[in-house]
Amino acid sequence: MFRLLALCVLFTVGSLQAEEAVPEGPLYYTIEPDIITNYQNSGQSLGYVRVTVDLMLESADQMPLVELHIPLLRDAINNLLAEQNRQEIRSLAVRNELAQLGRERLNDLLLKETGETPIRRLMFTKFLYQ
């Protein structure tokens, strides 16, 4: 009887561990809240841009690494956007280039801090400017 009970417990624990397995493949992470920053509009006036940023990570096990460094990553995206002017902010082609440049900058920062480059892609899923 005891052996049957022990076998049932082992089977239950094994199935629970299988359910908690980390999914393989890419994982998406949304940086929250949105990033809001100023950019040089025209003359001495400033415009502002508000973006939602989603990161495609290489694997789910890199999520804690990215979450730990979110302040550093937010600052890098904020600086990247603030370096742009009005024409660049409004250009769809430049926006796509910014996403690529942003991914490179974030991976460079994470490489220096952690020795890993977990970000496969950076996407602006909301891009509002004024």
Q: Express each pLDDT in 2-61 by its tens digit.
A: 554 444 544 554 544 545 555 677 899 999 999 999 988 777 788 999 999 999 998 999
Q: What confidence score (pLDDT) does residue 18 get? A: 47
User: Interior CA angle at 105 toward 79 and 48, to 5°?
Assistant: 25
Q: What confidence score (pLDDT) does residue 19 get? A: 52
Query: What are the structural domains of the chain?
Result: 24-129 (3.30.479.30)
Q: Express each pLDDT in 98-117 by its tens digit.
A: 999 999 999 999 999 999 99
Report pTM.
0.78
Q: Express each pLDDT in 56-82 by its tens digit.
A: 998 999 999 999 999 999 999 999 999
Q: What confidence score (pLDDT) does residue 97 get? A: 96
Give residue 9's Cα distance to chain centre. Answer: 39
